[in-house]
């Protein structure tokens, strides 16, 4: 009977669970212990938070802090609020409809439209993988002096490490991600303590300042921060991995799952906010305060940290956090790639083959850029990857907001009036800002 209900509002029935090898593999306690249930649902939010602290976000945070001090903290705060709402919709879609976003698109749109959406999503995942490669490569150079070209080749090996944990079980993957996030957190905590930021300006920076809009350059960087906030593959990922929990597939069970999954997601994204804000705060407390207002690249930031803070550990912790960020993003990108391929075209291939295909697509441009242009080339590729992601974003958000606002598909779990209006307002803002960012970037206005 439940299967019949799940097909209401969809063109096709969903016959295969998302990530079938780990579907309902994480047990949820039946008793009413709040903390035990919360622990059981803790994990997917951490995997999602990774996308909000990946190497692609670092450049905009560094540039914002060095040029405008703490003023753009409010932009990061607003961006994080947008992310919390959209990720809530993604997990709700997966729990209620028992479909990930890719499967939902396949079961709603005609095959031709679904195929185009799949191609666009694959391109965005390759672009995201490109940013992860660059982040890891730069970190390897900073930590061990490994040339960029060799670093690109070394990143291809991480597929073996990822596959090892994937076969061990989904909880192992979540544990690895949690450990890497903890590493990033420790590194930036050290950096913040070392940089000695001023508390009152930080609190003032969280409050939106009209000067952000008045100054064209600060407005442009703000658009960059907002535009790169929500990673399109995160919406596909969250709607799938939430189904790894073994909760009752009933109305009450789904209500409980949405409650605890939303807590997990909100807390994890709050942690991502702290890390993103930390990057901007460190940049403001060191570079802006010292008069280095043109620092925008990761490499430049690393070079200046040691002499300004007077500690050789500052650069080491910065590079270590970058490496952890790149490796974390690589892991979640692999899962997202598997989800969209299975969801959109219902084709299952071995994870190691899927991983190698994605990595080879990203490695080729990274290798060419590193050989021909060196550091500058990889930095430019990082910018290009963010442009590609911004193009794909609207093709993920619009279907998500549309599906979760459809009473025929969601039943009693359909978005309420306030959430529905808020979701569409957020969607319109993000789409318009991404289009504006894309238009100006292509014209060379950055």
Helix, strand or coil for residue 17? coil
The answer to whether 93 and 367 have CB atoms below 8 angstroms apart is: no
CB atoms inside a 10 Å sphere around CB 356: 14
Q: pTM of whole model > 0.85?
A: yes
Instruction: Please give the radius of gyration of the chain, using alpha carbons only, rounded to the nearest integer.
Output: 21
pLDDT, tens digit (0-9, with 9 covering 90-100), for 151-172:
777 776 765 666 676 667 788 8
The answer to whether 144 and 322 have CB atoms below 8 angstroms apart is: no
Please state whether 169 falls in left (phi above 0), alpha (psi between -120 and 50) or beta: left
pLDDT at 365: 64
Mean pLDDT of the chain: 82
pLDDT, tens digit (0-9, with 9 covering 90-100), for 393-436:
888 999 999 999 999 999 999 999 999 999 999 999 888 877 77
In angstroms, rounded to a whole number, what is the distance separating the alpha carbons of residues 121 and 104?
14
pLDDT, tens digit (0-9, with 9 covering 90-100), for 277-319:
998 999 899 888 888 877 766 777 777 777 777 667 788 888 8
Residue 124: DSSP 8-state? H
In angstroms, rounded to a whole number, what is the distance separating the alpha carbons of residues 355 and 340?
13
pLDDT, tens digit (0-9, with 9 covering 90-100), for 311-344:
677 888 888 888 888 777 777 777 788 888 888 8
pLDDT at 159: 59
In angstroms, rounded to a whole number, what is the distance separating the alpha carbons of residues 46 and 270?
10
- pLDDT, mean of residues 212-232: 76
Nearest to 285 by CA among 277, 303, 322, 226: 277
- pLDDT, mean of residues 27-37: 85
Over 80: is that where the pLDDT of 261 sits? yes
Q: What percent of the chain lies above the pLDDT cut of 90?
A: 30
Which range marks the domain in which residue 400 is found?
Answer: 2-442
> What is the full DSSP assignment across 85-97?
HHHHHHHHHHHHH
Which residues, including other chains, have CB under 8 Å from residue 111's CB and lie 6 or more apart? Answer: none
In angstroms, rounded to a whole number, what is the distance separating the alpha carbons of residues 66 and 141?
23
Instruction: Give the number of domains in the chain.
Output: 1
Q: Find the CATH number of the domain harbouring 151.
A: 1.20.1740.10
pLDDT at 4: 44
């Amino acid at each position: 009977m439940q299967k019949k209900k799940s097909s209401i509002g969809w063109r096709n029935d969903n016959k295969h669970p998302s990530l079938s090898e780990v579907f309902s593999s994480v047990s949820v306690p039946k008793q009413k212990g709040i903390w035990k249930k919360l622990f059981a649902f803790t994990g997917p939010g951490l995997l999602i938070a990774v996308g909000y602290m990946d190497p692609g976000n670092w450049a905009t945070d560094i540039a914002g802090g060095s040029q405008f001090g703490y003023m753009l903290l409010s932009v990061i705060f607003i961006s994080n609020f947008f992310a919390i709402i959209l990720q809530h919709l993604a997990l709700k879609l997966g729990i209620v409809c028992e479909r990930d976003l890719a499967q939902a698109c396949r079961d709603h749109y005609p095959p031709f439209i679904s195929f185009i959406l799949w191609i666009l999503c694959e391109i965005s995942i390759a672009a995201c993988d490109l940013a992860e490669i660059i982040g890891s490569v730069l970190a390897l150079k900073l930590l061990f002096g490994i040339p960029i070209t060799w670093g690109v080749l070394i990143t291809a090996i991480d597929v073996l490490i990822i596959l090892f944990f994937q076969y061990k079980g989904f909880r192992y993957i979540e544990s690895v991600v949690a450990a890497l996030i903890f590493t990033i957190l420790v590194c930036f905590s050290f950096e913040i303590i070392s940089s000695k930021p001023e508390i009152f300006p930080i609190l003032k920076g969280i409050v939106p300042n009209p000067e952000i809009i008045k100054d064209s350059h600060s407005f442009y960087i703000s658009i960059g921060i907002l535009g790169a906030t929500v990673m399109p593959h995160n919406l596909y990922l969250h709607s799938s991995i939430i189904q790894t929990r073994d909760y009752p597939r009933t109305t009450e069970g789904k209500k409980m799952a949405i409650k605890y999954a939303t807590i997990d997601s909100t807390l994890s994204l709050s942690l991502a906010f702290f890390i993103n804000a930390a990057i901007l705060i460190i940049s403001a407390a060191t570079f802006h305060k010292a008069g280095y207002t043109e620092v925008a690249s990761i490499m430049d930031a690393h070079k200046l940290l040691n002499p300004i803070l007077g500690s050789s550990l500052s650069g080491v912790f910065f590079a270590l956090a970058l490496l952890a960020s790149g490796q974390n993003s690589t892991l979640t990108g692999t899962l997202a790639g598997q989800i969209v391929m299975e969801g959109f075209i219902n084709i299952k291939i071995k994870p190691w083959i899927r991983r190698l295909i994605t990595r080879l697509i990203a490695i080729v441009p990274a290798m060419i850029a590193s050989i021909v242009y060196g550091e500058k080339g990889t930095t430019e590729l990082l910018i290009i990857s963010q442009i590609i992601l911004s193009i794909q974003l609207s093709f993920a958000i619009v279907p998500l907001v549309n599906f979760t606002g459809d009473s025929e598909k969601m039943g009693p779990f359909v978005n309420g009036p306030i959430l529905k209006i808020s979701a569409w307002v957020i969607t319109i803002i993000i789409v318009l800002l991404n289009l504006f960012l894309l238009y100006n970037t292509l014209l060379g206005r950055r």
